[in-house]
Amino acid sequence: MKKLRILLADDHKVIRDGLRLLIDGQRDMRVVGEAGDGQQALQQARDLKPDVVVMDLSMPELNGLKATERLRAEQPGIKVVALTVHEDASYLLQLCKAGAVGYVLKRSAGDDLIRAIRAVAAGGLHFDPTLASEALRGHSGEAPGKAGSHTSDLSEREKEVLIQLAWGYSNKETAGDLGLSVKTVETYRVRINEKLGLRSRTEIVQYALRQGWLNEAHPFVRPSR
């Protein structure tokens, strides 16, 4: 079995030690490196090419937010899961914009982090559900979508395309999964943007979260890769 390669970035060694024990205890993943600050995290990511970086937000030299932004710009194939004590919903929105695809609170059970790592490695998203709901409520004035736009404005196929995009699928991957041409997917994407006023992937994710479409129980949940 090919194991997921995980890089830990946290300025507290005792936390890294605990995370290493937790992750190395899984059959399908292993820790390949550790970093004590944001700059080290970037260098280790360049050298080790991990599948997932578990990133603390509060670190010296370069904080987790900036490190995530730079890492995703340099190596977009590496997934970032933010692991933090911050329960302020604004951090979640900032991390989404920076490119993180997971957000786990340090007070959460270890199983939550393991689920997050597996989810993002498979191309999905994993956000603390309570925090995600709070973020969207707290930013209702900035909520994605035109005023007065409704889910009913979208066709069933447009909903499927939007959900694929929210999960981080490319136009090509979406076309393959849904049996469409890339050009057709691009056309659907334009229609979605026109109907809902969504201008970025972050806004697409926020909209899909509001609709409850990123829940595993939803019939439009993304297919397995």
The pLDDT tens digits for 134-173 are 555 544 444 444 444 455 678 888 888 888 877 767 788 8
Rounded CA separation 23/111 (Å): 10
- 17-26, 63-72, 141-150: the lowest-pLDDT one: 141-150
Asked whether residue 129 carries a pLDDT value surpassing 50, the answer given is yes
∠ CA 22-97-158, nearest 5°, is: 100
pTM of the model: 0.66
Contact 197, 204 (CB under 8 A): no
Strand order in the sheet with 79-84: 29-35, 4-9, 52-55, 79-84, 102-105, 126-127
Contact 7, 48 (CB under 8 A): yes
Residue 204, C-beta contacts closer than 8 angstroms, at least 6 positions apart: 144, 162, 165, 166, 198
- 15-19, 66-70, 154-158: the lowest-pLDDT one: 154-158
